[in-house]
Structure 1
Amino acid sequence: MGELTKIPQEDAATPASFGAITPMGMISQAVANGAGIETVERLIALHERWESGRARKAFDTAISADRRGSPYRDAADPGAARAVLVA
């Protein structure tokens, strides 16, 4: 007693070995385990927030990429947009 046993790395459970845990996966697991409707509703709300966050990040990335390549930027001050006059 008192001795530590080293677990071989291939036998150890690591977060990477579990795969990505997503709200949809949690919903599937909850339904398979017979979770109550309240639990499923809360997981669905979590899934909606998750998807909203992913959409916001994708939008922010697209806007950032567009602004970097925009011809309406001042080279001296990349953070400031130039005014465009339309005749």
Structure 2
Amino acid sequence: MSNELPDRLSSDPRSPFYDAALLERGIGIRFKGVEKTNVEEYCISEGWVRVAAGKARDRFGNPLTIKLTGPVEAYLRDEPSAGGEGEAG
């Protein structure tokens, strides 16, 4: 699989922008320079992320989301380190 990330990705299986294989590898999102772990969907070209709004749910049990705008950076979390250093087990 290539290291090229899509412009838009969603964690919702009902979305046309959902990619299970890519999400399984682990995607990191940096929004306005801050690491975000609660991102439901992102779009790099349009500069927005959708994050869960607390524990609020809609009537179907899906999390309510808020669209935040700003610079978005996406990266793979499982990229090998440049120094080749591993963790001692």
**Greater share of residues in strand:** 2
Q: Please state which band the TM-score falls in when normalised by the shorter chain.
A: under 0.3
Higher-Rg structure is 1
Output the TM-score relative to the length of structure 1: 0.18
**Structure having greater relative contact order (Cα 8 Å, sep ≥ 6):** 2
**Greater share of residues in helix:** 1
Output the TM-score relative to the length of structure 2: 0.18
